[in-house]
């Protein structure tokens, strides 16, 4: 991969909030995305994460209702029916959550987001969610904690991280 290709991949990995529900994401693709994230955890001393994937429309409806879509843009409304994600990846860790765990999760999450973009998928990361409600839907034991949820699907919109973003951090 050239530097330009890498730059394009990174700048095209921007949050997507509208998806084509007629285009499902398969279990195979979700397993591949999680598999890539596991490469970031090869060190013995890094926290290990567990992943739960959902591509089931009934479960997806429940997951969708636990996510705070207003945190993405101040005036944004949640996606309408037909524009909702067709898959989710939940990233779990043991409770209590350490600062080291939160930092280490960044590499795993970024890897999943980049891999999703490389497959032509859109994604959106959620930290603001109704964890207790989602724990019940997914039967998460009390000693585990849902760190983050990634919504995934075929994008109906496209954002890129443009020059303004680059200049802000140069």
- Look at residue 98 and tell me whether its pLDDT is greater than 70: yes
Specify the CATH architecture of the domain 3-168: 3-Layer(aba) Sandwich (3.40)
24-73 pLDDT per residue, tens: 999 999 999 999 887 776 555 566 789 999 999 999 999 999 998 876 55
118-165 pLDDT per residue, tens: 999 999 999 999 999 999 999 999 889 999 999 999 999 876 555 444
42 in helix, strand or coil? coil
């Amino acid at each position: 991969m050239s530097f330009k290709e890498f730059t394009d991949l990174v700048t095209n990995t921007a949050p997507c909030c509208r998806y084509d529900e007629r285009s499902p994401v398969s279990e195979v693709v979700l397993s591949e995305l999680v598999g890539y994230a596991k490469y970031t955890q090869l060190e013995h001393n890094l926290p290990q994460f567990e992943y739960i994937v959902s591509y089931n429309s009934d479960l997806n409806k429940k997951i969708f209702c636990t996510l705070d879509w207003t945190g993405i843009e101040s005036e944004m409304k949640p996606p309408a029916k037909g524009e909702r994600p067709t898959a989710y990846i939940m990233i779990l860790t043991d409770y209590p959550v350490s600062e080291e765990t939160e930092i280490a999760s960044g590499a795993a999450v970024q890897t999943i987001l980049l891999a999703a973009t490389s497959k032509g998928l859109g994604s959106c990361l959620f930290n603001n969610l109704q964890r207790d409600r989602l724990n019940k839907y997914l039967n998460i034991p009390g000693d585990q904690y849902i760190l983050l949820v990634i919504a995934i699907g075929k994008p109906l919109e496209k954002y890129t991280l443009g020059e303004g973003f680059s200049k802000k951090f140069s």
